[in-house]
Structure 1
Amino acid sequence: MESFRVPIPRARQIVLTASERRRLKKLAHSRTAPYQQVVRVRIVLDAAHGYSNARVALRQRLHLDTVRLWRGRYADQGIDGLKDRPRTGRPPRFTPIQRAEVTALACQLPAETGVPLSRWSSTDLASEAIGRGITDTISASTIRRILAADVLKPWQYA
């Protein structure tokens, strides 16, 4: 009976220049760099030292797949490969035009718009935005977030 050897996957070889090593060591010992970046840099430094993925995983107390991922990304893309990839996230519910219209409404005095109020509250602004057809639905808390982005608080001004 013939026996077939299954090839053992080899870890990607990481070779660093002196300047890359200095830069990575500085990041690895940084107290201000984001923690995830420090972990990724330490993986690369261990890999450049010649450690296997399993040994790096043990040394850094990480999962083998994590080590394999970041070692491979560095081998393919260099230092830029250690950054997080952009994520799509949930699409914005309100368009920039709707946000601008809500902000413009908040900047007007209620009396100028025919509303019998001395100041806007976020609830009043939400009702007015729906009444004017700016949007079908909007909550008072969303109004507060939109205005907070522009540092506007119309309910505090007379």
Structure 2
Amino acid sequence: MISCDEKTSIQARCRCHPTLPPGTARMMRVNHEYTRGGALAYLAAYDVHRAHVIGHCAAKTGIAPFMTLVEKVMTAEPYASAKRVFWVVDNGSSHRGQAAIDRLEKRFPNAVMVHTPVHASWLNQVEIFFSVVQRKVVTPNDFTSLDQVEDRLIAFERRYNVTARPFRWKFTPADLEDLLARIERHEQKESNLQQHDHCDHQPAVPNPAA
């Protein structure tokens, strides 16, 4: 199972003065003035069972960069000979809708695309990997060029693949069912209150016999 997404707009910012490391009773100091060196996107395919990442950098996101990543993964083992390889993606424009599903299946018949619900891309485990990248690789983003950004990302990817273990979510299917049940009860309670308030504000009907 492959969890895939793009981390967009990773900028190369060359600080006007060097960043000072933290010291005794002093936090890291980062100069707020910088020159822009451009931005790139980091596309990553995360194998949720093996904790293995395959990624590459591109000038921008889109169908072509996404399919380049797919090609890189699906032509390597164990994915090339697997009976089925599930690709979990969000609803971004690079892989949105039935057209993306058909395009992937046409190129690789053993690949099955599965979309996360709309506004729920956080369910995709690659987002956890991207949070690690944000903290450990691109913060602070002191880079003199985009080549330096790419070199650091790829170097981290190689190191990560040596030491990483699969993410173990504590949020279980039973927890999800309990959460959905509580939401349903809350919505039903709100609906009943609204109906009760509506009835209380209905104008009184005059009695013709009075």
Q: TM-score, normalised by structure 2?
A: 0.20
In proportion to residue count, which structure has more helix?
1
In proportion to residue count, which structure has more strand?
2
Indicate the structure (1 or 2) with the bigger Cα radius of gyration: 1
| Structure of greater relative contact order (alpha carbons < 8 Å, 6+ residues apart) | 2
Q: TM-score, normalised by structure 1?
A: 0.24
